[in-house]
Amino acid sequence: MTRVADSADADRCGVLAEADDGSPRTLRAAVGWSAPDELPADGLRATIGREDDPWGVLVAATDDADPDADAFVEAVATVLTLAVERRRRRRETTARHELQATLNSLHDAVSEVTDAIVAQSTREEIEETVCELLADSEAYKFAWIGAVDEPSQEVHVRTEAGVEGYLDGLTLSVDPDHPFDGGPTADALRTGTVQVTNDARSDPRFSPVRDRVNAYDFRSSAAIPIAHEGTTYGVLNVYAGREGAFRSRERAVIARLGEIVGHVIAASERKRALLSDDLVELTLRIDDLFVALDTSVDPEGWFSFDHMVPVDDGDFIVYGRATEEAVPFLRDLERVNPEWESVTVRSEGSPARYELHGVDLPVFSAIASQGGYFEDVVIEDGDLRMTLYLSPSVDVHSVLESLRHNYPQTEIRSRRQFTRSFEDVVRIRRRIVTDLTDRQRATLEAAFYAGYFEWPRDADGGAVADSMGVSPPTFHQHLRTAQRKVLQAVLSSPTVGPE
């Protein structure tokens, strides 16, 4: 700066840098003054940087201006502009390379996690593997998975890796009225969306745990819901030592992990229930199931939920029967119940067959989240009775508490544990079910219960495809594949019984 001042014959010369946030300029280098407020009102000035995005300004002031000083100051500003732009491009290139390296590492971690958890057989093994692999990756410091305890509405840690006791002595609640509502973890569970923090030191949601941020030395975090087909299994929390670790592109990749883990857990729980020789059978009753709804029709007669087929994004289709007296109440429920999108009566008579499209039913999601299934679901005069089956390893108490959270009047009428006796035909059926993908099974079930295989058909392929939200070619592709697997399993099976 001294050489510039001498060459321009200036008494005072300096560079002022623009501030990105609109605050006053800062004095980067100067001769003849020591603070920005000493900037002379007159003198020579030249912009450093692009006109649309200036980096700063070069200022030179003198009592006896040299006629050539103006051109000299402009030339110096041009040289500085080139240097600034070169440095900016170098930083941008470095940032792009670092981001790409981070994304590559993240993709590798997600792929490794996906491959590893598919090989696990239980929910506990799946969750432990996820946390261990994420904590061992270069991108993250530690991870933990938690789930909501329905009675207390508090988040309890199921497993953690890369850290010990991070949540010791801390209560995370999904209850919005709780003094500390659980921050990003609770937000992720309540909204079903990924919650990220790119600077935990300044994020107000981390104010109550600022000491832990410093003690465990992390700067960014992501809370990722673990969910599948409308059932939330918990939340995965991942922590990184760098700021800005979960911006848009990384956030999109890490969000996929919650969907993948949810899908694998759901498949594991369902397979465990299907293949287990031992079962817990519960008979439940819920009186006045729809008492909270403002219905204009009294519940009369009965209607059943014979089968439920999950479709994308947590939606489902229920196939059932209804007496003539119950049909008006069913149609009224479509009007007042936000969980019921549409009810279509497929046949006349009593009972008639109907089809229900919905977005969620807590009474079923609580069961499905544990890999259970139901039979004999009947709502008569507004009261529900049902039989459900769970694996003995499932905590029955937690399932009941989850149901009672939405339906406090839930009662257990009977409970028994038994060992199923397997005939060869039953074994074949179970093998067929486990060989089908989720989409193939849903397509086959939807076609069967919609009356696609009746003669004449109650619903054609286009109608069933539309009910599932897929194109007719996609429907027929999945249906043909499922039919082939079923026929192959049946026709290639050993002879059942004596020849």
Question: What is the per-residue pLDDT across 213-259, written as a single tens digit (0 to 9) for each?
Answer: 989 999 999 999 998 876 788 999 999 998 888 887 788 888 888 88
Rounded Cα–Cα distance for residues 461 and 472 (Å)? 6
Tokens of 145: 């998975």
Bridge partners, 83 (sequence order): none
How far from chain centre, in Å, is Cα 101?
A: 24
- Entry pTM: 0.55
244: left (phi over 0), alpha (psi -120 to 50) or beta: left
Whether the predicted pLDDT of 448 surpasses 80: yes
Rounded Cα–Cα distance for residues 234 and 158 (Å)? 9
State the average pLDDT over residues 465-484: 91
Tokens of 328: 């008006």
Question: What is the per-residue pLDDT across 362-388, written as a single tens digit (0 to 9) for each?
Answer: 777 778 777 788 888 999 999 999 998
Q: Top-level CATH class of 2-91?
A: alpha beta
Ranges of CATH 3.30.450.40 domains, the chain: 2-91, 120-271
* Residue 366 CA: distances (Å) to CA of 97, 150, 363: 45, 11, 6
How do beta strands 340-345 and 195-197 pair? unpaired
Q: Which residue has the tokens 């390893």?
A: 393
Q: Assign domain 120-271 to its CATH superfamily.
A: GAF domain (3.30.450.40)
Residue 329 confidence (pLDDT): 92
State the average pLDDT over residues 178-200: 86
Q: Do 442 and 451 meet the contact criterion of CB atoms below 8 Å apart? A: no
Question: What is the per-residue pLDDT across 24-70, written as a single tens digit (0 to 9) for each?
Answer: 566 666 565 655 555 555 566 676 767 666 777 767 766 555 666 66
Whether the predicted pLDDT of 473 surpasses 80: yes
Report which listed range, 147-151, 176-180, 297-301, is most confident: 297-301
Bridge partners, 281 (sequence order): 389, 416
* Residue 309 CA: distances (Å) to CA of 267, 358, 415, 431: 15, 11, 26, 19
Sign of the CA dihedral running 160, 161, 167, 169: positive
First to last CA, the chain: 103
Tokens of 82: 């080139």
Which of 49 and 445 is assigned the larger pLDDT? 445
Ranges of CATH 1.10.10 domains, the chain: 421-499
Burial degree of 421 (CB within 10 A; 0-12, 13-18, 19+): exposed
For domain 421-499, give the CATH number. 1.10.10
